[in-house]
């Protein structure tokens, strides 16, 4: 596990975009797992800038998004389809056939639909690089506390804390979704490389538990400790409860010296 400490959201966005861009350049047909949320807006802005400058080609990249709210159409302004289109896909040369986002309007056999999403990931050769955010309760994707470490893509009931956080994005009087389709923790852990971003003091407890706490289903992101190639990029506020910050700085210095490719 590599922990990169940055001052603020802008530094995090630049570092994350640099790592993603480097991965695409090394493997133009990269399979990229994507996330939504305010932390990702800056990352996607930098990727769009690189593409506009002619420094990044997405024509062969394949993407799989982590999740989508159940009950929201792709046209709903709070759907993750809409978020991805507005912040990234509409501004890149990505092939629409290579974009995969769970369908929030499905009805009926959810298990069959989720199994087909898993099969699409397998047919694409698996995810090379998975981008993650983290919830205040430590969830990744919508894998709420008590999610199985071996869980796969499935229908998931959202916690009250998550619904309360999400409600701020919806219009007054509009009920926020109670369920979502999400990749499972087991699905996420199969990615070859994982990159998790976090900003703000509200994420500090979740970050400390995820990096330094025990592996537990009560904090879904703690399962990332089992992964051989995971990088956390967090700002000062989100890192405020970490007890080993000096050590993480030393590890980063040695990583830059001994394995610089990991940081570029």
Told to judge if 139 belongs to the known catalytic residues of this protein, a careful annotator would answer yes
For residue 131, give Cα distances in angstroms to 66, 67, 72.
Answer: 9, 12, 23
Cβ contact 136:146 at 8 Å: no
CA–CA distance, 25 with 17 (Å, rounded to integer): 12
Residue from 46, 51, 81, 139 carrying the catalytic annotation: 139
Using a 10 angstrom Cβ sphere, with 0-12 exposed, 13-18 middle and 19 or more buried, the burial of residue 155 is middle
Residue from 98, 137, 143, 190 carrying the catalytic annotation: 137
Residue from 9, 51, 67, 190 carrying the catalytic annotation: 67
Residue from 68, 118, 128, 144 carrying the catalytic annotation: 144
Residue 257, CB-side half-sphere exposure with 13 Å CA sphere: 6
Q: Which residues pair with 233 in a beta bridge?
A: 4, 197
Told to judge if 229 belongs to the known catalytic residues of this protein, a careful annotator would answer no
Told to judge if 109 belongs to the known catalytic residues of this protein, a careful annotator would answer no
Told to judge if 144 belongs to the known catalytic residues of this protein, a careful annotator would answer yes
CA–CA distance, 121 with 13 (Å, rounded to integer): 26
CA–CA distance, 20 with 23 (Å, rounded to integer): 5
Catalytic residues: 67, 137, 139, 144
């Amino acid at each position: 596990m590599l922990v990169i400490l940055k001052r603020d959201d802008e530094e995090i966005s630049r570092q994350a975009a640099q790592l993603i861009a480097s991965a695409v350049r090394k493997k133009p047909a990269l399979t990229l797992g994507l996330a939504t949320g305010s932390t990702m807006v800056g990352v996607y802005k930098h990727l769009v800038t690189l593409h506009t400058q002619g420094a990044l080609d997405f024509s062969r990249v394949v993407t799989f998004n982590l999740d989508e709210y159940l009950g929201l159409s792709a046209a709903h302004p709070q759907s993750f389809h809409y978020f991805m289109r507005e912040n990234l896909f509409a501004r890149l040369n990505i092939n629409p056939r290579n974009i995969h986002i769970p369908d929030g309007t499905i009805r009926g056999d959810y298990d069959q639909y989720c199994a087909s999403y898993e099969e699409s990931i397998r047919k694409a050769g698996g995810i090379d690089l998975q981008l993650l955010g983290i919830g205040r309760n430590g969830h990744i994707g919508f894998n709420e506390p008590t999610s199985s470490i071996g869980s796969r893509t499935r229908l998931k009931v959202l916690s009250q804390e998550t619904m309360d956080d999400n409600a701020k994005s919806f219009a007054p009087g509009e009920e926020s979704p109670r369920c979502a389709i999400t990749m499972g923790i087991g699905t996420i852990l199969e990615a070859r490389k994982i990159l998790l971003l976090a900003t703000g003091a509200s994420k500090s407890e979740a970050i400390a538990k995820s990096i330094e706490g025990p592996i537990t289903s009560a904090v879904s992101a703690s399962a990332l400790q089992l992964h051989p190639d995971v990088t956390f990029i967090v700002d000062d506020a989100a890192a405020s409860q970490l007890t080993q910050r000096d050590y993480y700085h030393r590890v980063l210095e040695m990583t830059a010296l001994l394995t610089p490719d990991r940081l570029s």
